[in-house]
Structure 1
Amino acid sequence: MNSTTQLTTTEGKRISKRLVNHWKHKFEVSETETHSKIFMPTATVTLTPQEQYLDVLIENQQDDVARLEEVVIDHLNRMAQQEFTAEWQHS
């Protein structure tokens, strides 16, 4: 199951970079000019900074994605030093 959300921020690039740096010691990561990917054991998290928001995509191999959504948003909140409210869309 895939989950997506958009977080309203003008600091998407900085937040994405901080999260990748935080998790690169635990997971494989990749970075390009347009997005970053974090490869977890059962999921891939893609962060795509835009001018006014940060796109977050979780491609999960398991049906229960709620816990992973919580972990990702909690870490993004810490990296941003603010509280985002995520409205996850599932597909």
Structure 2
Amino acid sequence: MKSNTKIKTNEAKRISRRLFNHWKHKFEVSESDHTTFIYMPDATVQLDSHSDVLEVTLTTDREDFAHLEQVIIAHLNRMAQQEFDVEWLHQS
């Protein structure tokens, strides 16, 4: 299952960097100039930072992927210190 969402923000890089630092002690992570990967045991989160949007992609085989989506957004909300209203798009 692959799902993604786009979060409108002018602070995409900062938010992505904060989540990277928050999760680097728990999961394997990697980053380039505009892309961050977080490798969970059974899922991968990709964050693509643009000037006005943070694109979030979740790839997993877990059946409870909706729970992972909630965890990711909850953490992004915390890192941004604001609440994002997101809609996930799903692909098989």
TM-score by length of 1: 0.97
Number of residue pairs the alignment of both structures matches = 91
Q: Cα deviation per residue 1:27-75 (whole Å; 9 max; x = unaligned)?
A: 0000111200000011000000111110000001213210000000000
Q: Structure 1, unaligned stretches of length 5 or more?
A: none
Aligned-residue sequence identity (percent) comes to 55
Say whether residues 1:46 and 2:46 are aligned partners.
Answer: yes
> Is 60-69 or 11-20 further displaced after alignment?
60-69
Task: Quote the residue 2:22 is aligned against.
Answer: 22
Alignment of 1:59-70 (within 5 A): 59-70=59-70
Secondary structure at the aligned position of 1:10 is classed as coil
Q: CA RMSD in A?
A: 0.6
Q: Tell me which stretches of 4 or more aligned residues in structure 1 moved more than 6 Å.
A: none
TM-score by length of 2: 0.96
